[in-house]
Amino acid sequence: MLNFEVMTLFPDLVRSGCQTSILGRAQNHGYIHVGVTDIRDYSGNRNGRVDDYPYGGGAGMVMQPGPVVRCFRDVKARCSGSLRVIYVTPQGQVFHQKMAEEFAKEDNLIFLCGHYEGVDERALEAIVTDYVSIGDYVLTGGELPAMVMIDAIARLVPGVLGNRESAEFESFHDNLLEYPQYTRPEDFEGRKVPEILLSGHHANIDRWRREQEIRRTLERRPDLMEQADLTEEDRRTLRRLKEEQ
């Protein structure tokens, strides 16, 4: 059981996003839990205000440290076992599959979603263990990045994916992209399913699929090729494909 806790000013967005599809089912079956806490409930004032002007001037508003830290203390009290506190920010390390695998081993992951121009630095110093970005672009808030990470991490938790959705054969297995998939009909508007997939010859099909993985990675993500886990036969295939290019 992995416990995700999200500290946010937009709890409905996070709740609805995590209740649907595989994440919803995983929660119902008790493989994960997603707790959502509204930072505004910790404002300490009647109008629920949690932001203020930046010291030193400048544009935008800053989330005050008090509500964030009070909220965190309450959330933390609900957690037992190992715990990481992730601040989602474009200033963080860029999220990737290996990071998802590491996070999936923890007992509790607390996500702090920022808004406005940011969060008072002292709150971050006090509570954050990891600064993580989902890519080099800027969004309006941390909710979507937190949900992206929760999705990527949750599917690695044992039980979350059924056999049919198994995480084993997929993109980034061996650091290669996945081979193309086909289902019925055999002929779609004149485009035919590759003959070999209809042959019933499993060894040939496996070899063909492996070649497709290497071909795809070479064409679409050549930057991944350097980290790919290739066998001797894979390397021969790669040399041949490069000569064809």
Residues binding ligand ADE (CB under 6 A): 88-90, 133-135, 137-139, 142, 145
CB of 73 to ligand ADE, least distance (A): 23
C-beta closer to ligand ADE: residue 88 or 176 = 88
Closest listed residue to residue 71, CA positions, set 104, 105, 48 = 48
Residue 63 C-beta: closest distance to ligand ADE, Å: 13
Answer yes or no: are the C-beta atoms of 4 and 34 closer than 8 Å.
yes
63 vs 176 by CB, closer to ligand ADE: 63
Helix (H, G, I), strand (E, B) or coil at 6: strand
DSSP 139-175: -S-SHHHHHHHHHHHHTTSTTSS-GGG-SSSSTTBTT
Whose Cβ is closer to ligand ADE: residue 93's or residue 204's? 93
3-state DSSP call for residue 135?
Answer: coil
What are the backbone dihedrals phi and psi of residue 153, each rounded to the nearest 5 degrees, phi first? -80, -45
* Residues 6 or more apart whose Cβ sits within 8 Å of residue 19: 27
Q: How far is the CB of 91 from ligand ADE (least distance, A)?
A: 9
24 or 118: CB nearest ligand ADE: 118
Q: How far is the CB of 19 from ligand ADE (least distance, A)?
A: 22
Quote the CA–CA distance of 204 and 43 in Å, as a whole number: 63
State the minimum distance, in angstroms, from the CB of residue 148 to ligand ADE: 8
The β-bridge partners of 189 are none
Residue nearer to ligand ADE on the CB measure, 11 or 145: 145
